[in-house]
Amino acid sequence: MQVIRLAVLSDNYIFLLHDPQQNIAAVVDPAEAEPVLKQLTHLQAELVAIFNTHHHSDHVGGNRQLIEQFPQVVVYGGAEDKGRIPGQQVFLQQGDRVHFGDRIGEIIFVPGHTRAHIAYYFPPNTSSEPGDLFCGDTLFAGGCGRLFEGTPTQMVESLSKLRALPDNTRVWCAHEYTLKNLQFALTVDSQNTGLQRRFDEVKTYRSRGEATVPSLLGVEKDTNPFLRWEQPSLQSAAKSSDPVQTFARIRGMKDKF
C-alpha cells in the first residue's frame, strides 16, 4: 500500500492509498475532490473506498463529487456520525476492520475532538515495516485536536489508545500544524531536549516548504505534550498531579496560544 499525501486548502492533508498490484485506491478524509480525481487520473486507478474519520467539512467536503465520479465507491465513517457524513454506507465501531488491497485496517474509536471520531490503523505486514495510523484531528504532530464535542476524559482515553500502538507507526494526521504545536510545547516542556531538537528540525523543514507529516509515534511519545500528561514536567506546568486535569489545563493553554 502506497500512501500519497495531497496538500489542500490552507493546511489540510488528504491521503490517497494506492494498491499498485490491483491498481485500486482509497482516500482518507477528502476535503476536496479535484486533487483526488487528478491523482487518480495520473495513476489510472479506480477509487473503491472513502475512509472518513469524522464529519467536519474539511474532511468530507469532496465526498459527493467523488461518489458521482465513482458510483460504486464505498463510504466509511464512525457509527455515531450517522447522518453527518455525505454518502456514508458503513458505520464503524471500535474493533471493526476494513480491507484495502493486502492490508487490514483496525478501527479505533477516539471521541474527543468530535463525539464520533474514529481512526484507522493498518498494522505492518512484516516486523521490519512501519504501521500506518490515519487519525484525522485526534492526534497531530506535536499536538492534538480541540475538544469540540468531547470531554478531557474522553480525549485522554482516546489518545491513550493511540499511544499504545507501536513506536514504529507513521502518524498521518490531517493538518500541517507541527511548527506552531511545537512552539507551544516548548512553553510547557522547555527542558525536553528531544523536543528542542525536533523544533529546530521542523523549523528547517518548514523554511524549505517541506511537509512534517507523517511523524513517527515514538517521536510523539517523547515530545508531544498531549501524550505526556503523566510526566512531572507537564504536571508542574499544569499545577496538577491528576493526569486528566493536567491534559485539560494544557489543552486550555494551547487554545489561548
99 labelled ligand-binding: no
Q: Calculate ∠ Cα 106-111-117, nearest 5°.
A: 60
Q: Please check if 117 is assigned to a binding site.
A: no
Is 42 annotated to bind a ligand? Reply is no
> Is 59 known as a binding-site position?
yes
Q: Is 81 annotated as a binding residue?
A: no
What Cα–Cα distance (Å) separates residue 101 from each residue in 48, 49, 73, 104, 216? 10, 11, 14, 8, 23
CA distance 113 to 118: 10
Q: Is 137 marked as a binding-site residue? A: yes
SS3 string, 70-110, reads CCCCEEEEEHHHCCCCCCCCEEECCCCEEEECCEEEEEEEC
Q: Which residue numbers are catalytic? A: 54, 56, 58-59, 113, 137, 175
Q: In this structure, how many other beta carbons lie within 10 angstroms of the beta carbon of residue 241?
A: 11
Is 131 in contact with 169 (CB distance < 8 Å)? yes
Q: Is 58 annotated in some ligand binding site? A: yes
Report the binding-site residues for Zn(2+).
54, 56, 58-59, 113, 137, 175
Report the binding-site residues.
54, 56, 58-59, 113, 137, 175
